[in-house]
Structure 1
Amino acid sequence: MQDIKKKFWLETFDCFSITGKDARKFLNGLTTSNIIDSENKVIKTCWLTPNGVLRALIEIIFLERNFEIIILAGNTNEIINYFNQIIFPVDNVFLSEPFLINRIQEIDESCSWRTYQPIFFKTDDKEFEIYKNKLNLLNPNDLKLLKINQAIPSLGMEINGKNNPLELGLKDLIDFNKGCYLGQETMSKIKNVSSLKQEIRTWKSLESNLNLDVEDKNLYINSAKDISVGKITSFFKSDSQIKGLAMIKRKYLEERNYFFSEIFGKIIINKSVGSIFL
């Protein structure tokens, strides 16, 4: 019988398949993880711009005859269009049309979401409804809080055309030894000189009277707004609390664990259990 104390994250994501004898090599050149040598059945990885900015957070399922690409955060059509554009006529690589896939994994608030292996179901799998009904699933609000507590980036928020995966605490998804891939040169430069300018942090507001009409997303060293130390990227307001994510300049992180927002007042910042930095 299922242990009711365990909690599970269920969500439906966009997915597409890649087939062909060159598929593994093709994916290895486009993503940050070592696809060639991996023996894992599921691998988490990033898709970057040539300048090393995060464009998508991806999971790749290794199947017997193909790879399935799950878009955890990113623009599916952008990814498929780009992949199709760079397939050479001599490449034996074929992309399917996108489809939906149901992803289930156990979660533990004390460790990274990357610790547990996910399980996948197609929408027409008969076992899916039976399986999920046995689980203690997070409700939508708790899932939003999980993603904040784990600092899982979202498209248009943390994935905004500016932030790189090392700043977003995704260092463990980067293989610095595998050779060339899209964005590899920038990742190597940052690692070699330890030049992160900012890092992602979770935050929690301590205020009860909030000014949600204000559009100033900057974080400041104090209420006088003397120095800007970073910027809020996302937030979630529940009945009991307001939490969010922010990119904070690295040089201010050692000074204190609280800052000031014109919208959210005094906020406490913490490092996510899901974040790994240089």
Structure 2
Amino acid sequence: MALPFDLEQTWLYPLPEFSLIALQGEDRRRFLHNQTTNAVEARAVGEWFETVFVNSTGRTLELATVYVRQDSLWLQVEAGQKDFLWQWMDRFIFPFDKVELRDLSAHYRAVVLLGEKVEEHNLGWQLPTGNQWLAQSVQGVELLISAQTGLDLPGYTVIFPADQQELVNQLWGHLPLINPDQWESLRIYQGRPQAGKELTEDYNPLEAGLWRAISFTKGCYIGQETIARLNTYQGVKQRLWRITLDRQAEAGTVITLEGQKVGILTSVKGLTGLGYLKTKLVDQGMTVQLGEAIATVEKPPYLSHQYYQGPS
């Protein structure tokens, strides 16, 4: 199955809703380190990384992208989760903590430049690589450019002041646009889980394949005991897969194998979906059913598991 876009061409995706929370204060690293799954205190200024907010039983609340700045941590989160996460973090800030939350969502916007030849459109700038981000000044405006698209596809995310949309149009307005429906197709094809669909309190980040965002050596954090136990005893009972259908189905449809329920479809666009399937019963390449639809189980590139025991 091929990607729904030709990555030989460079595409522009203006994020329709962009939410950004800044953590300030000298305790900001320690605070986020203790609230999420990744090793925040080990990260250097100029890095970006992903981390997962989980509840006390290790169930998933949100996957955030964090930019480490000299004086703050910027958290890029889904718009629908911003207020919830703000309240969640605020309840754990105690009077003696030197941590301050600031909502930057009204002040910044973001676009994603997607494609294998995106460097041809960088105007000769130095570009970040790996888990780096760089600040570039263009006509006196600071742009934050990170070497990631959120989908494990080649390209960059550019964060810019909200009142500088015209500058962004001048720089990249000639590129073909990706609309939200097309982006949703890409998200599902790549396998990035989304809050309210794959990321809910029904699932944990190991089931969601978010090993990239989890440290097993960082020590205690909210939900750490449950996640550590699942990892130690290889107790992941279900796993997120890409589902390729032969006909339409709706999110929430039960997935069966030989008449037995083995999972549920969590997202779908066209004939491609995502769904959680029982670890001991389903493996890559198997055929499952969703009502009248026949579907093939595939591994999406965004997700990873450091161990996996398939059906015996």
Amino acid at match of 1:218: V
C-alpha spacing 1:211/1:152, structure 2 compared with 1 (3 Å) = closer
Q: Structure 2: 5+ residue runs without aligned partners? A: 1-6, 117-148, 307-312
Do structure 1's residue 259 and structure 2's residue 288 form an aligned pair? yes
8 Å CA contact 2:207–2:236 kept in 1: the answer is yes
What RMSD, in angstroms, separates the aligned Cα atoms of the two structures? 2.6
8 Å CA contact 1:7–1:138 kept in 2: the answer is yes
Do structure 1's residue 230 and structure 2's residue 266 form an aligned pair? no
1:113 corresponds in structure 2 to 151
- Selected match of 1:140 from 168, 172, 180: 180
Q: CA deviation at 1:135?
A: 3.6
C-alpha spacing 1:186/1:114, structure 2 compared with 1 (3 Å) = farther
C-alpha spacing 1:252/1:30, structure 2 compared with 1 (3 Å) = same
Distance across 1 between alignment mates of 2:79 and 2:237: 23
Do structure 1's residue 97 and structure 2's residue 133 form an aligned pair? no
Amino acid at match of 1:48: V
8 Å CA contact 1:4–1:135 kept in 2: the answer is no
8 Å CA contact 2:60–2:205 kept in 1: the answer is yes
Q: CA deviation at 1:233?
A: 0.8
Q: CA deviation at 1:10?
A: 3.4
Q: Secondary structure at the match of 1:44?
A: strand
Say how many residue pairs are matched.
263
TM-score by length of 1: 0.85
8 Å CA contact 1:73–1:154 kept in 2: the answer is no
Q: CA deviation at 1:113?
A: 2.1
Distance across 2 between alignment mates of 1:22 and 1:181: 15
C-alpha spacing 1:154/1:254, structure 2 compared with 1 (3 Å) = closer
Q: Secondary structure at the match of 1:118?
A: strand
Distance across 2 between alignment mates of 1:91 and 1:274: 36
8 Å CA contact 1:169–1:199 kept in 2: the answer is yes
- Selected match of 1:171 from 201, 208, 211: 211
Distance across 1 between alignment mates of 2:274 and 2:208: 10
C-alpha spacing 1:112/1:159, structure 2 compared with 1 (3 Å) = closer
Do structure 1's residue 129 and structure 2's residue 135 form an aligned pair? no
2:14 corresponds in structure 1 to 10
Do structure 1's residue 78 and structure 2's residue 118 form an aligned pair? no
TM-score by length of 2: 0.76
- Selected match of 1:198 from 234, 238, 243: 238
**Larger RCO (alpha carbons 8 Å, 6+ apart):** 1
Distance across 1 between alignment mates of 2:239 and 2:266: 12
Q: CA deviation at 1:81?
A: 0.9
Amino acid at match of 2:294: K
Amino acid at match of 2:101: L
Distance across 2 between alignment mates of 1:52 and 1:227: 28
Q: CA deviation at 1:66?
A: 1.4
Q: CA deviation at 1:188?
A: 0.8
Q: Structure 1: 5+ residue runs without aligned partners? A: none
Amino acid at match of 1:158: E
1:151 corresponds in structure 2 to 191
2:48 corresponds in structure 1 to 42
Higher mean C-alpha deviation, range 80-89 or range 114-123: 114-123
